[in-house]
Amino acid sequence: MIKIGKLIEAKSKAGYKEEDGTIRLIVIDFWDNHESFNLIRLGNGKYISSGNAEQIESYLNAHYNSWSYYDGDIFVHMVAEQTAKEIMSKYVEGILNNDDRQSYETLARKIINRFTKIGIVKPENAKTQFMKVTEELGELAEGINKDKPEQVKDSLGDVLVTLILLAEDLNLNLLDCLNSAWGEIKDRKGKVKDGSFVKEADLDDR
């Protein structure tokens, strides 16, 4: 059975598109849903494949002559897993960066299609996806508090991706939710106090 976060030493089959020789791979549970995993090549940051544990194992058996787990110390595995998560995060970010001139609807659909394909998007995953939203909000808060513009930019993108997926899990469209919110606030009256907008109906309470 596939072991998450453990380095795999694999030798590619002759004629396969990767060069012959030993390659280091790692399987990560990027979305922490214990159902869909990602196979990453550490040497060049290449995203290899996704699927459940059986599908990942089948992929390895099909494309490599041999593969086995690296029996190094736990620190090596921790560093490798963190590196793999950073690689996967950049891969997700690339979904947006490669299409940054397309409409929101087009980007959202590509994101939804991509993560539906690997088993992330489904109604029963809503609670797990919500936790992913809060995790990304924590990264955003850290970037703002520590004045890290690049982290803020990356985190905002990650928050949007997780919200798009959460809305899909809940059978909602994020743009419809935004339009609904705009309909509620566009004619709202009130005042700005301490940097926040206070509704007219709540002014007497402050």
Give the pLDDT confidence score for residue 110 in this predicted structure: 83
Q: How far from 69 is each of 10, 81, 116, 158, CA to CA, in Å?
A: 9, 14, 29, 31
Give the pLDDT confidence score for residue 96 in this predicted structure: 59
Give the pLDDT confidence score for residue 167 in this predicted structure: 93
Residue 36 neighbours by CB distance under 10 Å: 20
Give the pLDDT confidence score for residue 14 in this predicted structure: 59
CB 70 within 8 A of CB 24: yes
Q: What is the mean pLDDT of each run of 10 residues along the chain (206 residues)?
A: 88 62 86 79 81 87 88 86 83 62 74 84 92 94 92 91 94 87 80 74 66
* Whole-angstrom distance, CA of residue 140 vs CA of residue 142: 5
Strand order of the sheet with strand 22-28?
Answer: 46-51, 37-41, 22-28, 7-12, 64-69
Whole-structure pTM value:
0.53
Question: What are residue 8's DSSP bridge partners?
Answer: 25, 69
What are the boundaries of each domain within the chain?
1-87
DSSP collapsed to 3 states, 63-132: HEEEEEECCCCHHHHHHHHHHHHHHHHHHHHHHHHCCCCCCHHHHHHHHHHHHHHCCCCCHHHHHHHHHH
Q: Which helix (H) or strand (E) holds 174?
A: helix 174-185
Its sign, for the CA torsion 60, 61, 62, 64, is positive
Give the pLDDT confidence score for residue 204 in this predicted structure: 65
Give the pLDDT confidence score for residue 120 in this predicted structure: 85
